[in-house]
Structure 1
């Protein structure tokens, strides 16, 4: 069995065992954290940080978690909303006047957070996503593909620029700066949007699925292997220095399972964690208010969206390209985070669910 490092409560032994099984099945590396009441009951890692499997995954190894980043960006917006500086029901153009172009006057902030704004596709060159002014100007000029609020279509890359520009217009800071100043800094969480060069040595680059190389592109999970619409994103792009340095708030967050679970434990614990108050209880609850329920035009499957989080019964969260995932259950004050550098084909990737179910085994024992 694969060697698993870290610590865990004995009730949650199924979690490190599940990680070991994934590594034994061929995965390169990963980490898992389970927090209850804001404190870790599992903090484990294993495998390797490189394709050649010569660099062990360490306690401070970080990885691109792709769309799990969306939960961090949403939290920034929710903090501003809780402070009364951002109204989710206001038109985006109230904060970003240029956005009103091409028939987008009726796009509300909550439409951005719930993937119902009608701007799901990134149609510019990949290089432009590293240029914030160019990326946001492109989106401000686009016309929506449907009546805003009437349908959902996963805004895979675009959501981060859209929500992020609203955060920037209100706060005067980029999402990465706001996150560091207001959330990860106060909590002591090792999570970054816009990664400084000093952290490069700790990064585990993404490993494509077996049988693929770095030209492998992002797919819509509900469509098997069909590429997503718009400009295709390759593993090569996600592994580039330009990607790490840029702020792509829908997909370029770097962290480990511990930092993801720590930050999102604020959402599991009523908005306050370890003496740091990020949100009021009402501000936290706002995230779970259903904004859309139905078939997602891009994902090709039924979804329920809150404000920046997917809704799954009484649990909330989201996953990222490549397999990383965060799940929040407020009733149990539980967060499960799994991050990995090993991609699998989306249609056949149940690793995050397996990790979550193993955590529930421990939760049953904890409640007994």
Structure 2
């Protein structure tokens, strides 16, 4: 039996200059039908979708788990770190052009003294696979000792290679250094609490009820499937064995990992938390950020180097902009958003974005980490496109 909590508003008011169109119930039904298929067809044990419009949640549904369940957001968590850094930029406590070692001296070793804060936020720091696991990540001393061992594998600023967690561990330590607080406490104080959101990173052990474990589902695509989809014959399963790929992600199921709050991927969310976070980034209701900081964080593309598939990155100071080149779906926001939409998705199919031109924001979470990357990308595009197109014609 599936517990479901679904709601759709028939209308929504809007501020001046924004869309004043109402939510179309038929479009909501199509979205919910598509989302529920993931559970009905056995592709995920549980999923959750939320859409907000001009500050109000207008769709909120969970399938395969009780309403209000929380999910790991993986890299959707990076928006929390970025938004906290923007606060520190506004306060003059962080300079994006400064070396990260200005704030964390232990990071200056092995040629890393040239890596800037901006490069950390745009994934051009040159150390994408630097290791940091449970044996060292529990304390600031352990983290910084690991930083001192890290070596560059690319020249900083020369290429865009996604840093799953390494760069955000450094950003988290910068937050701790300049605020005097644990990084997760700083994010709560600077970002989520002023927006009226619960604590989303660094969840105490006695507050972890209702958090779903993420599990691997499916199998990697074959080399023939990869060639048909991308024009490149790659045996993904041989390149990255499934137990390694899923094992790294499911480390974040551990209660201690959730308690510490891995900055690049350990956020714990309800779908509505993500939708409302992006409402906050669009409307700035608590005046947390200057206009300039939000432009740099949500609109101005500072780095457009190509990813491994040749798609220009569209990276701001921490997030991704949909762009007007017809590739918004390759950046995780489907095909129906405006060029000004921005967001940051997470591993396994987590979706999180907002569109200033429509006033809509979306959070989609799944407990099933699909190893078939082609199927996952097509699902991401389908769900994101439906969710971004809920306004009546």
Q: TM-score range by the shorter chain?
A: 0.7 to 0.9
Compared with structure 1, are the counterparts of its residues 348 and 42 closer, same or farther at alpha carbon in structure 2 (3 Å cutoff)? same
Q: Which residue matches 2:57?
A: 40
Q: Which residue matches 2:287?
A: 277
For 1:243-258, list aligned pairs within 5 A: 243-258=257-272
TM-score of the pair, normalised by structure 2 = 0.79
Residue 303 of structure 1: CA displacement? 2.4
Q: Which residue matches 1:322?
A: 348
Aligned-pair Cα RMSD in Å:
2.6
TM-score of the pair, normalised by structure 1 = 0.84
- Alignment partner of 1:308: what SS? coil
Q: Which residue matches 2:172?
A: 164
Distance 2:253 2:214 in 1: 6
From 202, 214, 217, the counterpart of 1:209: 217
Distance 2:31 2:140 in 1: 39
Distance 1:130 1:200 in 2: 18
Q: Is the 8 A contact 2:80 2:191 kept in 1?
A: no
Residue 296 of structure 1: CA displacement? 2.9
Query: Structure 2 stretches of 5 or more lacking a match?
Result: 11-23, 221-229, 324-338
Q: Is the 8 A contact 1:4 1:20 kept in 2?
A: no
Compared with structure 1, are the counterparts of its residues 191 and 258 closer, same or farther at alpha carbon in structure 2 (3 Å cutoff)? farther
Q: Which residue matches 2:381?
A: 353
Compared with structure 1, are the counterparts of its residues 351 and 103 closer, same or farther at alpha carbon in structure 2 (3 Å cutoff)? same
1:139 paired with 2:147, answer yes
Q: Is the 8 A contact 1:305 1:311 kept in 2?
A: yes
Distance 2:159 2:250 in 1: 32
- Alignment partner of 1:263: what SS? helix
Compared with structure 1, are the counterparts of its residues 17 and 3 closer, same or farther at alpha carbon in structure 2 (3 Å cutoff)? farther
Q: Is the 8 A contact 1:327 1:335 kept in 2?
A: yes
1:307 paired with 2:308, answer no
Compared with structure 1, are the counterparts of its residues 105 and 236 closer, same or farther at alpha carbon in structure 2 (3 Å cutoff)? closer
Distance 1:236 1:282 in 2: 37
Residue 121 of structure 1: CA displacement? 0.7
Q: Which has the higher strand share?
A: 1
C-alpha distance after superposition, 1:299-335 (max 9, x if no partner)? 7765232111123212221221221110222222321
- What is the count of residue pairs matched by the alignment? 341
Compared with structure 1, are the counterparts of its residues 124 and 163 closer, same or farther at alpha carbon in structure 2 (3 Å cutoff)? closer
Q: Is the 8 A contact 1:191 1:260 kept in 2?
A: no
Q: Which residue matches 2:333?
A: none
- Alignment partner of 1:343: what SS? strand
Distance 2:207 2:381 in 1: 29
Distance 1:208 1:262 in 2: 28
Q: Is the 8 A contact 1:325 1:339 kept in 2?
A: yes
C-alpha distance after superposition, 1:234-293 (max 9, x if no partner)? 354222222212221001111111111111212222xx12xx122122210111322322
Query: Structure 1 stretches of 5 or more lacking a match?
Result: 49-56, 213-220
Distance 1:236 1:327 in 2: 24
1:241 paired with 2:255, answer yes
Q: Which residue matches 1:227?
A: 240
Q: Is the 8 A contact 2:195 2:280 kept in 1?
A: no
Compared with structure 1, are the counterparts of its residues 13 and 281 closer, same or farther at alpha carbon in structure 2 (3 Å cutoff)? farther
Worse overlay, 18-27 or 246-255? 18-27
Distance 1:132 1:73 in 2: 17
Q: Is the 8 A contact 1:3 1:20 kept in 2?
A: no
Q: Is the 8 A contact 1:2 1:21 kept in 2?
A: no
